[in-house]
Copies of this chain bind each other. A is one copy, B any other.
């Protein structure tokens, strides 16, 4: 590491197209130890054929940073999240913003391949200067780290009539301000942001290291507005993954869009066909919602009522209309005790594409626990993240229906929110967001 990072021109395995990066010293020192299942990158940041075994995943996995799409969308969901939104400081101009995105791109391309954020590694370079990397990931493999960058609506807004970055006219119509949903209990400190970065890795220390170093690189240009750590991915994004459970104890994401469903992904995930958002072609729209769960109340609810609310059984995750986890729910099948087997207000029915004009979301959320509140209740819930080609047709109508009718609403409270245009992936030699400023 020390010698490698002291020589910027040394080839780095991860940047030559190899997808099994073992560049960090610590892992090399463990040569001979068993390393888990391999990962095969299939261009465009989509990796398949990856075995996920419970919480234990392949810590040596790396995903290409450059490509048609940004990684971290259809990439098989890693186990841990550090998500942060940033506000650009007053006074930074278009050139300054572009430079920040270029610097983030350079550092992101390095860190996702298991390398330090900058030329002078945490323990190399001159002793009379701060290192370019903070060091806590020095001995750690990349753990499948992906970094996904997005632009919030405020980045396109004019301030006092001034078009800060000269991009006001390029705001896509799909990048709407989210409406107020019934029951919203949003906290100002957990809403919005000019920029967002989603860092996912199988090792939380690697994800934290990435956000910390990107924040450090942004010093004087952008500051963190709000941020969230998450664990226990609550969705599968690949058929190679098992379905995880959220903090209600139920399987979550059974019917999620999977990266293998290429036609659905093309239709429902990738943006840029709206006419006004050509620069977004190959990108996607990210909606984040911090959803606090009232888990103490939920935990006192009887098993049958929990299952009625979800519309699935708790053990297997099968729809209450019968079958197994991946059986299609039957919303008209009648119960011998009256009514339908699946309650009309159940979460599974209200969120289902059949009830939403075929709209689907690629969900990529995480569980969170932020300590406890003053009453001794765990401050816990779901940090919801979803990608889509047009939030006006997907997240917004789906969430509006859920907010009005979902039987689950008694047990959840939306406290944070953000929407971001996630541009396409950068070509090697370019930077994330280049199409916006072209």
Instruction: State which of B87, B138, B302, B369 has its C-beta within 8 Å of the C-beta of A315.
Output: B138
Q: Are B122 and A203 in contact (CB under 8 A)?
A: no
Query: A227 contacts B122, CB within 8 Å?
Result: no
Contact: B53 with A367, CB < 8 Å? Answer: no
Determine if A160 is an interface residue (Cβ-Cβ < 8 Å): no
Please tell me if the beta carbons of B54 and A26 are within 8 angstroms of each other in the complex. yes
Q: Give residues in A with beta carbon < 8 Å to B.
A: 1-2, 26-27, 29-30, 33-37, 51, 53-59, 80, 82, 84, 86-87, 121-131, 133-141, 143, 189, 202-206, 208, 211-212, 215-216, 219, 223-229, 231-232, 242, 244-250, 295-296, 299-304, 307, 313-316, 367, 369-372, 374-378, 380
**Contacts A55-B203, A303-B126, A304-B127; is A232 near B136 (CB within 8 Å)?**
yes
Question: Closest chain B residue to A87 by CB distance?
Answer: B376
Given the complex, which residues of B lie within 8 Å of A248, measured CB to CB? 135-136
**Contact yes or no, A370 B370, CB < 8 A:** yes
In the docked arrangement, what's the CA distance between A203 and B131, Å? 32
- Cβ–Cβ contact B26 & A242, under 8 A: yes
Per the bound structure, the CA–CA distance linking A376 and B223 in Å amounts to 5
Within the assembled complex, what's the spacing in Å between the Cα atoms of A53 and B31?
A: 10
The answer to whether A229 and B371 touch across the interface, beta carbons within 8 angstroms, is yes
Number of copies: 2
With A129-B302, A369-B82, A370-B370 given, is the CB distance from A30 to B55 under 8 Å? no
CB pair B315 A2 closer than 8 Å: yes
Nearest opposing residue in chain B for A33, CB measure: B53
Write out the residue numbers on chain B whose beta carbons fall within 8 Å of the beta carbon of A202.
55-56
Knowing A26-B54, A189-B374, the reply to whether A135 touches B249 (Cβ < 8 A) is yes
In the complex, the answer to whether A30 meets B2 with C-beta atoms within 8 Å is: no
Question: Is A134 a contact partner of B302 (Cβ separation < 8 A)?
Answer: no
- The answer to whether A371 and B54 have CB atoms under 8 Å apart is no
How far, in angstroms, from A47 to B247 measured CA to CA in the complex?
A: 31
Contact A134–B212 (Cβ < 8 Å): no
A34:B37 contact, CB within 8 angstroms: yes
Contacts of A247 in B (CB 8 A): 134, 136, 208, 212
Assess A372 versus B36: contact at CB under 8 Å? Given A54-B59, A246-B136: no
Question: How far in angstroms is the closest Cβ of chain B from A318?
Answer: 11
How many Å lie between the Cα of A189 and that of B128 in the bound state? 40
Question: Which residues of chain B are near A378, meaning CB under 8 Å?
Answer: 208, 211-212, 215, 224, 227
